[in-house]
Amino acid sequence: MGTIYLIRHAQASFGAADYDRLSEVGLTQAEVLGRALATRRPRTDRIVSGTMRRHEETARGCLEAMGAPAQWESDSDWNEYDNVNVLRVYDPRYADPAAMAAELAASSDPRRRFQEIFLASMGRWVSGGHDAEYAESWPAFRSRVNGALTRLNACLAKSQGALVFTSGGPIAAVCGALLNLRAEDTLSLNSKLANGSVTKLLCNGKTVHLSTLNEHGHFEGAEAALITYR
């Protein structure tokens, strides 16, 4: 059977002006991941990346550590959902980034407060009761991502392998569909995916099966300080 490795991007720059670039920890995560994959998958037939900066920087760092050319096929269908739109629809005040920043700054625990807002906004998005209000509804997002997976699966010959550099949302959406999870459980799964983790799928051109989920043993032991989730 063929294999598809879904790789969640390394840590981005939470709280920075440009969240989409990798943090210093994220750059190291990409390198460590690449060294691990070099022994696990010495030859890869297809390499695909979403078009977000954090996807591409993870791909570049990982591939360079693998000793492979930093080249890939770009597919925006592997991009993350639009969290800015999801937050804005949940509370129009958050259309102004300064309003969000001010609310977080006034909190005794800005990260916890952001997580509360984020989970509430995501819960509304996946609820199914407000789909028409979003630029991309939850069903449309799932359809987009699973369409990208179907296309990639159809292109892989027997025993070929692919690496896909993407985000937690698409990985959770794929696994949620394969495991028949409720939207709420898929959302919960998303929050448990480690940066730089690997989810392995087995495929035969028609069907896809989940083999392993959220592997991040390459960040354990001596590299335990590299385990992050946001």
Domain end point (choices 94, 111, 135):
135
Q: Are 202 and 3 in contact (CB under 8 A)?
A: yes
Q: Report the percent of the chain where pLDDT is more than 90.
A: 79
Q: What is the mean pLDDT of residues 67-92?
A: 95
Burial grade of 20 (CB within 10 A; 0-12, 13-18, 19 or more): middle
* pLDDT at res. 15: 63
Mean pLDDT of 50-75: 97
The per-residue pLDDT for 42 is 67
Which residues, 6 or more positions from 86, have their beta carbon under 8 angstroms from its beta carbon?
121, 122, 124, 125, 134
In a shared domain, residues 125 and 194: no
Q: Which domain holds residue 216?
A: 2-81+137-226
pLDDT grade, residue 5 (50/70/90)?
very high
- The per-residue pLDDT for 85 is 95
Q: Do 102 and 157 fall into the same domain?
A: no
- The pLDDT value recorded for residue 205 is 77
In this structure, what CATH number is given to the domain that contains residue 190?
3.40.50.1240
Q: Which residue has the higher pLDDT, 22 or 42?
A: 22
Name the nearest CA neighbour of 142 among 108, 175, 118, 113.
175
Q: What is the tens place of the pLDDT at every residue in 168-215?
A: 999 999 999 999 999 999 999 999 999 999 999 999 878 999 999 999
Answer whether residue 18 shows pLDDT above 80: no
Whether the Cβ atoms of residue 44 and residue 7 lie closer than 8 Å to each other: no
pLDDT, mean of residues 109-118: 88
